[in-house]
A and B are shown apart, each in its own frame.
Chain A
């Protein structure tokens, strides 16, 4: 694949719940994170499952991708603000 998302910054919620070789495969978030990376985007993986989320992000980085991990409980406005505004 090439650069269909070159230069784009993307946040994907719930994308850190599984690893590449997880028993039940990646979810939609993780699969999207992988394809987004392949297409040239900077991807922010986020989840409430920080251990796996961080490991999955590491896996993406090891493939040479521009991936970052952030904890985000999507039901919590304070966390949204912290993530998006700082």
Chain B
């Protein structure tokens, strides 16, 4: 591949949770970090999982890539400020921010407690808000930027499986649209990506219980029959990060094997 992201500085949250040969593969963040590096970007891997995050960053460097690690709990505004200050000091700018950190939430309406609601909405939705705000402040100085928020097809549709997760991802999609309008004067684009079912570290049971009816069912219900490979999400993110999508803002890129077309 070539230099679709040459000269760009990118921060990807939740991208340090797995290694290249991890049992459940790389997540969307790690896969994007790899593709961003291949496309010539300087990549800041960040996560709350510092051991693996640091190791993964080492793996990227061993491949000759320009990768750095930074601890960042996306629910914590103070940590965001520190991270953004460090990026400004060490790299001088931020071109791309991928708000990818997130958790799953599998509880239906009546099972959901207030702490359940708060946890999934804090990480998936508030984390994304803080990143868009703090990242936007630095990008604004340069009048340039692309923010990619990882939502989910479950931010568009409902399911039997969960309630607060849907709310958290729906919030990501709509806040991205509002931010796209508010940041357009600064030439900062904001889009969301809506993945379908993917067998990442987030869903280990997709692999460990590959014969279970829910796993088989989810693959079968997907028109392209199977789980979306993490790398397919990474390519969508590369597109939104690159200047190829200079006029794309305030939209959502659905990569779900056709699930939501039904």
Chain A interface (Cβ within 8 Å of chain B)? Answer: 1-2
Contacts of A1 in B (CB 8 A): 2
Chain A CB within 8 A of B1 CB = yes
Nearest residue, chain B, Cβ from A2: B2
Interface secondary structure of B, over-half rule = loop
Closest A-chain residue to B244, C-beta based? Answer: A35
Residues of B within 8 Å of A, CB-based: how many? 2
**Chain B: minimal CB distance from A40 (Å):** 12
> 3 A-B pairs, CB-CB below 8 angstroms?
A1-B2, A2-B1, A2-B2
List chain A residues, Cβ under 8 A from B1: 2
Q: Which of B166-221 contact A (CB under 8 A)?
A: none
- Using a CB–CB cutoff of 8 Å, the interface residues on chain B facing chain A are 1-2
**Chain B residues near A2 (CB-CB < 8 A):** 1-2
Cα A1 to Cα B244 in complex, Å, equals: 11
| Complex: A2 Cα to B1 Cα, angstroms | 7
A2 vs B2: C-alpha distance when bound (angstroms): 7
Query: How far apart are the CA atoms of A40 and B2 in the complex, in Å?
Result: 14
A28 nearest CB across to chain B (Å) = 12
Q: Which residue of B lies closest to A35 (CB)?
A: B244
Chain A residues positioned under 8 Å from B2 (CB to CB): 1-2
What's the Cα separation between A2 and B3 when bound, in Å? 10
Closest 3 CB pairs of A and B: A2-B2, A1-B2, A2-B1
* CB proximity of A82 to chain B, nearest CB, Å: 31
What's the Cα separation between A60 and B1 when bound, in Å?
Answer: 24
Bound state CA distance, A1 and B1, in angstroms? 9
Nearest opposing residue in chain A for B1, CB measure:
A2
Give the CA-CA distance A1 to B4 in the complex, in Å: 9
